[in-house]
Amino acid sequence: MSVTRAAITAVGHYTPPKVLSNFELEKLVDTNDEWIRTRTGISERRIMEHGATSDMAVLAVKNMAERFKIDLSEVEVVILATVTPDMFFPATAVLVGHKLGMKKAWGFDISAACSGFLYALATGAKFIESGANKKVLVIGADKMSAIIDYSDRNTCILFGDAAACVLLEPSEDPTYGLLDHRLYSDGAGGEFLHMKAGGSLNPASHETVDKKMHYIFQDGKNVFRLAVKGMADVSAEVMEQNGLKGDDVAWLVPHQANLRIIDATAERMGIDRSKVMINIDKYGNTTAATIPLCLSEWHASGQLRRGQNIVLAAFGAGYTWGAALVKWSIGTKA
Ligand code: COA
């Protein structure tokens, strides 16, 4: 029986030009560059000064279309992972489709925080694998600066803004593409990482604004402990399921939340640091955008090769976590 797999056939990204360095944060909160770098690995992050999440997503998709000569009018489905949609509704995916003139496409958003891209990738792949669709656009985009309290040193140092995307198409060779994935969620983690107000539980009011309930709340220690375990466990699980050892994996693409979480995951998988995609120093945690941003940057610099085994791994609010195994399909530098 022939199997149809979803292959990543194009990648793109956008990072806003405005840089917010650790030194600038020193002026806003009681912190310092050395603490931030040694505790998180972050030196600077990008800020979208004007415009919304959909505007970053549009620029990421345009970057992909230009690099890979994609006719966007052929896209059939748009899946956008974000926790910072332009509005509650309509879905940001639909706004992106409209802004890019994708008349044929329907779309929807996925809310799985830092695991959002993996959830969206797995969902998008199902449309290809089932034979229902031939071109599915998967976007991870977050304007985290919209929900950050820049007087809270526990969170403002961590996050940044970015968007990145991949195009999924049926793989010509069924041994290439998204080979496997494992996704998990546990709502018991909700109390440790969330935004309290704005939803139906605490609708926006003067009180919710006064109490700063429209910003990220995080119990960093709890998140850290579970992220290290969750990301390492699920990555190891995907490797074991597919009979892979560290040497068989060309790249680990971890969600970029904290360099210490990334290092712990790589160590558990037996993967050398030289094979781990790391750009947290430049961008911080861009939530749903981190993994496709790495893929797009590494492809642009010619470091990805067709046939390489790549493990994607993430952990985020929910809690949500997961890992995916991809055999890289794109041949030459675009
Ligand atoms: N600058 C300077 N000092 C800071 C600080 C900052 N920005 N933030 C906290 N501190 C202080 C604390 O107040 C504490 O001081 P104390 O010992 O006098 O009480 C000390 O530094 C250590 O704080 P702690 O919270 O134990 O630091 P940590 O090593 O746990 O690092 C995080 C904090 C947030 C970097 C870390 O917990 C983390 O990365 N968590 C996971 C975040 C994450 O992944 N979130 C996204 C989900 S994917």
Do the two domains 6-170 and 177-327 of this chain adopt the same fold?
A: yes
Selected catalytic residue, list 22, 63, 133, 285? 285
Is 255 marked active-site?
yes
Q: Which fold has domain 177-327?
A: Peroxisomal Thiolase; Chain A, domain 1 (3.40.47)
DSSP for 97-130, written as a single string: HHHTT-TT-EEEEE--GGGHHHHHHHHHHHHHHT
Is 165 marked active-site?
no
* Start-to-end CA span in the chain (Å): 33
What ranges do the domains of the chain cover? 6-170, 177-327
Exposed/middle/buried for residue 81 (C-beta within 10 Å: 0-12, 13-18, 19+): buried
Widest distance between CA atoms in the chain: 62
Residue 3: band (very low, low, confident or very high) from pLDDT cuts 50, 70, 90: confident
176 CB-near residues (< 8 Å, 6+ apart): 5, 7, 306, 307, 327, 328, 329
Residue 316 CB–ligand 1 contact under 6 Å = yes
Over range 17-45, report the average pLDDT. 97
Is 114 marked active-site?
yes
Distance CA(68)–CA(53), nearest Å, equals 23
Q: Tell me, in angstroms, the distance from the centre of ligand 1 to residue 260's CA.
A: 12
pLDDT of 333 higher than 60: no
Residue 223 CB–ligand 1 contact under 6 Å = yes
pTM for the complete prediction?
0.96
Q: Tens digits of per-residue pLDDT, 198-245?
A: 999 999 999 999 999 999 999 999 999 999 999 999 999 999 999 999
Q: Tens digits of per-residue pLDDT, 55-65?
A: 999 999 999 99
Which atom of ligand 1 is closest in space to residue 221's alpha carbon? 37
* Spatial contact of 137 and 79, defined as CB atoms under 8 Å apart: yes
Selected catalytic residue, list 114, 156, 165, 294? 114
Angle at the Cα of 221 from the Cα atoms of 220 and 225, rounded to 5 degrees: 115
66 backbone dihedrals φ, ψ, rounded to 5°: -70, -45
Residue 98: band (very low, low, confident or very high) from pLDDT cuts 50, 70, 90: very high
Residue 34 CB–ligand 1 contact under 6 Å = no
Which atom of ligand 1 is closest in space to residue 218's alpha carbon? 45
Residue 2: band (very low, low, confident or very high) from pLDDT cuts 50, 70, 90: confident
Structural tokens at position 267: 């160590």
Q: Tens digits of per-residue pLDDT, 244-294?
A: 999 999 999 999 999 999 999 899 888 999 999 999 999 999 999 999 999
Q: Tens digits of per-residue pLDDT, 183-204?
A: 999 999 999 999 999 999 999 9
CATH code given to domain 6-170: 3.40.47.10
If you take atom 10 of ligand 1, which residue's CA is the nearest one? Answer: 154
Selected catalytic residue, list 22, 63, 133, 255? 255
